[in-house]
Amino acid sequence: MAQTQWNLEQIRLFVKVAEQRSFSAVSRDLHRAQSAVSSAIALLEADLGVVLFERSSGRQPQLTEAGRALLDEAREVLRQCERLDGRALALMRGQEAQLRLAQDEAMPYQPVIDGLQAFAGAFPAVQVQIANAAQGDVARRLVDRHADLGLLFRHEQIPAELERRALGRVEMVTVCPSGHPLAGEPRVSRQQLARHRQLLIAVQSSGFPGGEAISPHIWRADSFYMIAELLRCGLGWAWLPRHVVQYPAYQGSMVELVSDWTPPPLVVELAWRRDAPLGPAGQWLAERFALELQAIG
């Protein structure tokens, strides 16, 4: 069997051309001659023994069947390289001097506090910086390197730079204000819910469970606690995490409804940059958060 000669730079160029569908665009981005990019791809094809792109004069390069089959593999090779570099960096640095935690503001309060209290005993010398953020901001802080690890609710879209791990689940419930017309109903249907204003988590493209608009009358907010405040003022019904509904300030002002459909539980995830993996203190805290969150799941 012939020895493989391809290199990581060729793999990176393959992925870039596949994503941008243009040799010239990639060459401009990288400040290289287009012939150099084309030659690198041609050498990769020769080493792999397959044609990756269909090339026609005046047309954008199109992935061949073999190219489509190998694209995900190529992306995974690059992700593994980032993990390797990040793991080496973590080993070089040793235990973290500081951990910057960003968390969704609607994260269950007590499991986080219990986890941090245990962490303080296990790693007394590690400084902790905590930031609360609305939906989407946790991932953004990680990408911008303003946080080392983040606690957030899983959604369909997450930046490609991040790794994530599921830690636990948070139950969702359907609620309305205590004086709402639906409050006295033994069971409510989707048709009944659709007749009243729905308070919904923003934005529509978030991919969160419970992001479906049932009513034609929608108000949106990027915070579950803001939705709870609007609901308490009698402005509509909503799907909320159970621990938000049970917050002491909301006791007596909300009614949990028995509904035809309630969203599945929110999955709590820990996320971090792939090229900056967790050190020993961060890994310990991740395990502790998982333990605390499983206790309420």
Instruction: Please tell me the predicted confidence (pLDDT) of residue 105.
Output: 87
**pLDDT cut 90: percent of the chain above it:** 31
Residue 162 has pLDDT above 50, yes or no: yes
Which two tokens mark 201?
């988590």
Predicted confidence band of residue 100 (pLDDT cuts 50, 70, 90) = very high
Average pLDDT over residues 193-209: 74
Question: Of the given ranges (89-93, 178-182, 282-286), which has the lowest mean pLDDT?
Answer: 89-93
Query: Helix (H, G, I), strand (E, B), or coil: what is residue 33?
Result: coil
Domain definitions of the chain by residue range: 8-91, 96-168+266-294, 172-257
Q: Which residues contact 155 (CB under 8 A, 6 or more apart)?
A: 206, 207, 208
Instruction: Please tell me the predicted confidence (pLDDT) of residue 189.
Output: 92
Residue 73 has pLDDT above 50, yes or no: yes
**Angstrom distance (rounded) from CA 271 to CA 152:** 8
Same-fold call for 96-168+266-294 versus 172-257: yes
Average pLDDT over residues 281-292: 90
Phi-psi group of 90: left, alpha or beta (phi > 0 → left; psi -120 to 50 → alpha; rest → beta)? alpha
Residue 2 has pLDDT above 70, yes or no: no
Instruction: Please tell me the predicted confidence (pLDDT) of residue 128.
Output: 94
The dihedral over CA atoms of 119, 151, 159, 144, expressed in degrees to the nearest 10, equals -60
Predicted confidence band of residue 177 (pLDDT cuts 50, 70, 90) = very high
Q: Which CATH class name applies to 96-168+266-294?
A: alpha beta
Q: CATH classification of 172-257, choosing from 3.10.180.10, 3.30.379.10, 3.40.190.290, 2.115.10.20?
A: 3.40.190.290
* Sheet of strand 127-133: strand arrangement: 127-133, 98-104, 149-153, 266-273, 162-170
Which two tokens mark 37?
């990019």
Instruction: Please tell me the predicted confidence (pLDDT) of residue 95.
Output: 65
Instruction: Please tell me the predicted confidence (pLDDT) of residue 234.
Output: 92
**Angstrom distance (rounded) from CA 215 to CA 193:** 7
pLDDT in tens, 46-62: 888 889 988 776 678 88
Instruction: Please tell me the predicted confidence (pLDDT) of residue 1.
Output: 42
Average pLDDT over residues 95-121: 90
Contact 126, 97 (CB under 8 A): yes
Q: CATH classification of 8-91, choosing from 3.40.50.1000, 1.10.3720.10, 1.10.540.10, 1.10.10.10?
A: 1.10.10.10
pLDDT in tens, 232-264: 999 999 999 999 998 888 888 999 999 888 888
Predicted confidence band of residue 206 (pLDDT cuts 50, 70, 90) = very low
Residue 107 has pLDDT above 50, yes or no: yes
